[in-house]
Amino acid sequence: MTWQESIPGLLIVVGMFTATHVGLKAANWLEGKPTRFHMDKFDKEMAERDERITGRQWRQQAQ
C-alpha cells in the first residue's frame, strides 16, 4: 500500500469536518446569533447572569 492510496480517505475525513463546521456556522448565522470568540471568566459570568435574568443567554431583547 502506497501513501497515495490513503488520500481519498483523508479527503473524506477532512470534508466531513469542513461540512460540520460550515453547517454549524450557517445555522448560527441564520438564527442571527453573534459569533463568540475568546470568552474569558467575566464574559461567561455575564452570559450566565443574562440567562438568569432574561432566559436567553446570547440574545437579549428589550420588551
pLDDT tens for residues 16-57?
999 999 999 999 889 888 777 778 899 889 888 888 888 766
Q: What is the pLDDT of residue 30?
A: 92
Average pLDDT over every residue of 6-17? 97
Same domain flag for 25 and 47: no
Beta-carbon count within 10 A of 58 CB: 13
Q: Rg (Cα) of the chain, in Å, rounded?
A: 19
Number of domain units in the chain? 2
- Kindly state whether residues 46 and 61 are assigned to the same domain: yes
pLDDT confidence of residue 9: 96
The residue-averaged pLDDT of 1-27 equals 94
**4 and 17, same domain (yes or no):** yes
Q: Are residues 23 and 9 in the same domain?
A: yes
Same domain membership, residue 24 and residue 42: no
Cβ atoms of 44 and 52 within 8 Å: the answer is: no
9 by Cβ neighbours in 10 Å (0-12 / 13-18 / 19+) ranks as exposed
pLDDT score for 58: 62
- Shared domain check, 20 and 6: yes
* Chain-centre distance for alpha carbon 29: 10
Same domain, residue pair 27 and 42: no
Write out the residue range of the structural domain in which residue 12 sits. Answer: 1-32
